[in-house]
Amino acid sequence: MRVNVDLFDPQSNMDSDFSSGLPDSDFGFAFNDSNFSDRVLRIEIMPDLPDSKSDGDACSSIADWARNRKRRREEIKKDTVDVLVQREQILQCNMPDTEDGVAYENQDDEPDAMVEESPADVGLNLNQCGEEATGSIDPAWSMDLSTVLRVKTVHISSPILAAKSPFFYKLFSNGMRESEQRYVTLRIHASEEAALMELLNFMYSSTLSTTTPTALLDVLMAADKFEVASCMRYCSRLLRNLPMTCESALLYLDLPSSVLMADAVQPLTDTAKQFLAARYKDISKFQEEVLNLPLAGIEAVLASDDLQIASEDAVYDFALKWARTHYPKLEERREILGSRLGRLIRFPYMTCRKLKKVLTCNDFDPELASKVVLESLFFKAETPYRQRALAAEEANSTYRRFVERAYKYRPVKVVEFELPRQQCVVYLDLKREECAHLFPAGRIYSQAFHLGGQGFFLSAHCNMDQQSSFHCFGLFLGMQEKGSVSFAVDYEFAARIKPTEEYVSKYKGNYTFTGGKAVGYRNLFGIPWTAFMADDSIYFINGNLHLRAELTIRQ
């Protein structure tokens, strides 16, 4: 059996634990056994605050646990561990039959039972020891000792605890006389008792007996408090393997965790974010639910690359709506948009029309608005290669402003001309996977673009050819505005082909548009769908189909 050296949880140790299915070592036999212990831990159990549950198992659901924890967090402004390291001569008053500070009772090979003292006994023992007992109590807890409900004593091994926890390592090696004493006292609330005992047992055995979500959360909180990263990681793994709900996912994202230990619960919070992102993938179906999500929840949703939404313009509008709902005060709203939500909006993929509105939006700090708009315009002006390089640089970043989402309306690049005639050239790129998903009767729409004050869009289809004999790829041009507006346009569709990789014209036409009408060609390439999607297709260059549409207003 390999020696149990944790030293604050190197990642490789935990990985090997779970991959093998068995812990590397088990010192459970030594827990609370005086034969294998060099210290005695006295756990003073204090009453809980009113309405607090006694332990995680007392909560009937994750929601109960969350409400209970929130209440305790609000009522305890400073939730710290009180360590009372009693002076040797004082604590010897409590321990009969000692020699050189070492107790000799219970020397058989059986593990010791945990000793519980009543509050009256505690008071009596401390009073018998004289005034020094009073002086050894942390001033922050100068309360009447009658508030101690009971005391548990546990035999512990300082090397085992110190190897697992920086908290205990510092406690046992701070160089002061107290660090050399045999008896150490921790003061906790009654609601923390079960979790602390599970934690102590874990530090010996590397396993937990509890499996319910609420109890595991209590152990996770205790592990965070006493800096036992290996236990935090273990609880995180168990919680990730339990069925996830929106309720539990939001709770995991709201867990208080010290900065130093954040990496231990990162896998759990990542799983929670992924669950929420998948659950609310299509925001349009869950608008009210998503609007009611807390900040951590809306961040998880808006950070997703797979968000199924019309365009980044819609992401921007939704983020503003959420911020205005949850932060009615302008200063608070500007702060949350500038420091949190604004980073999740991918401004470079917004339309120029919407970017103009960003500049005049009062919800954003003017300096920030100018910065993101200028950055977006520079990105739009970059070559496709450079744009892909910028996106690749952010592949593993939290804020992926240059990474394109799976928009329902695909982004387009537009070049507009006013003279000698009103004209625009529109570029639409589709991935091979997007085209494959069109079969057998799907459609992909582009974002809107404008010519002569009218809104237009492109749509790519998988449809039957005119004789309905086979499936093929079609491309259409439509006008947005409905009504009696009439608009005459010359148009031309082209696509890049191999090996030259130049645009080649595929279809020309002219049409007088009225609102809501579309025109195009059902079989743009004149070949069946199977040939269009074949591995040796001349239309896919590095996995992308490059389309171009030229529109000119007829005189």
Cis peptide before 528 (omega within 30 of 0): no
Q: CB neighbours (10 Å) of residue 395?
A: 9
Confidence of residue 50 (pLDDT cuts 50, 70, 90): low
Give the containing element (helix H, strand E) for 43. Answer: strand 39-46
pLDDT higher than 50, residue 491: yes
pLDDT higher than 60, residue 9: no
Choose among 168, 195, 173, 184: nearest CA to 136.
184
> Could you tell me if 49 and 151 are in contact, meaning their C-beta atoms sit under 8 angstroms apart?
no
**Residues 374, 367: Cα–Cα separation, whole Å:** 11
Position with higher pLDDT, 394 vs 543: 543
Confidence of residue 554 (pLDDT cuts 50, 70, 90): confident
**Residues 138, 136: Cα–Cα separation, whole Å:** 7
* 66-80: burial string, b at 16+ Cβ within 10 Å, e else: bebbeebeeeeeeee
| Strand, helix or coil for residue 239 | helix
What the block records as the tokens of 452 is 């002569």
Choose among 541, 279, 526: nearest CA to 435.
541
Place of tokens 């640089």: 393
What the block records as the tokens of 105 is 């009772």
Q: Give the pLDDT of residue 482.
A: 64
| Strand, helix or coil for residue 117 | strand
For the chain, give the percent of residues with pLDDT over 90. Answer: 43
**Residues 42, 31: Cα–Cα separation, whole Å:** 14
Q: Give the pLDDT of residue 25.
A: 66
pLDDT higher than 60, residue 468: yes
**Residues 422, 420: Cα–Cα separation, whole Å:** 7
pTM of the model: 0.69
For 510-534, write each residue's pLDDT tens digit. 999 877 778 999 999 999 999 999 9
pLDDT higher than 90, residue 298: yes
Helices of type H across 382-464: 384-393, 432-436
Ramachandran class of 516: left when φ > 0, alpha when ψ lies in -120 to 50, beta otherwise: left
Provide mean pLDDT across the span 236-263.
Answer: 82
For 125-172, write each residue's pLDDT tens digit. 333 333 333 333 343 333 444 588 889 998 888 888 888 998 888 888
For 69-110, write each residue's pLDDT tens digit. 655 554 444 444 444 444 333 333 333 333 333 333 333 344
Position with higher pLDDT, 89 vs 455: 455
Name 70's Cβ contacts closer than 8 Å, sequence gap at least 6: none
> Could you tell me if 45 and 208 are in contact, meaning their C-beta atoms sit under 8 angstroms apart?
no
Tell me which of 1-15, 47-61, 330-344 is least confident: 1-15
Confidence of residue 42 (pLDDT cuts 50, 70, 90): confident
Mean pLDDT, the chain, whole residue set: 79
Name 177's Cβ contacts closer than 8 Å, sequence gap at least 6: none
**Residues 407, 444: Cα–Cα separation, whole Å:** 10
Q: Give the pLDDT of residue 32.
A: 65
pLDDT higher than 80, residue 112: no
What the block records as the tokens of 38 is 């060099």
Position with higher pLDDT, 436 vs 466: 436
Provide mean pLDDT across the span 314-343.
Answer: 96
Q: Give the pLDDT of residue 51.
A: 56
**Residues 469, 74: Cα–Cα separation, whole Å:** 70
pLDDT higher than 50, residue 427: yes
Confidence of residue 266 (pLDDT cuts 50, 70, 90): confident
Q: Give the pLDDT of residue 94.
A: 37
Position with higher pLDDT, 38 vs 7: 38
What the block records as the tokens of 217 is 């959360």
Q: CB neighbours (10 Å) of residue 240?
A: 16
Most confident of 10-24, 52-66, 108-122, 475-489: 475-489
Name 270's Cβ contacts closer than 8 Å, sequence gap at least 6: none
**Residues 163, 149: Cα–Cα separation, whole Å:** 31
Confidence of residue 394 (pLDDT cuts 50, 70, 90): confident
Provide mean pLDDT across the span 216-229.
Answer: 90
> What φ, ψ does residue 264 adopt, rounded to 5°?
-70, -30
Distance of CA 361 to the CA centre of its chain: 29
> Could you tell me if 128 and 72 are in contact, meaning their C-beta atoms sit under 8 angstroms apart?
no
**Residues 209, 219: Cα–Cα separation, whole Å:** 11
Position with higher pLDDT, 2 vs 201: 201
| Strand, helix or coil for residue 200 | helix
Positions of E strands within 268-319: none
**Residues 541, 12: Cα–Cα separation, whole Å:** 42
pLDDT higher than 50, residue 424: yes
> Could you tell me if 515 and 481 are in contact, meaning their C-beta atoms sit under 8 angstroms apart?
yes
> Could you tell me if 186 and 44 are in contact, meaning their C-beta atoms sit under 8 angstroms apart?
yes
Provide mean pLDDT across the span 342-361.
Answer: 94
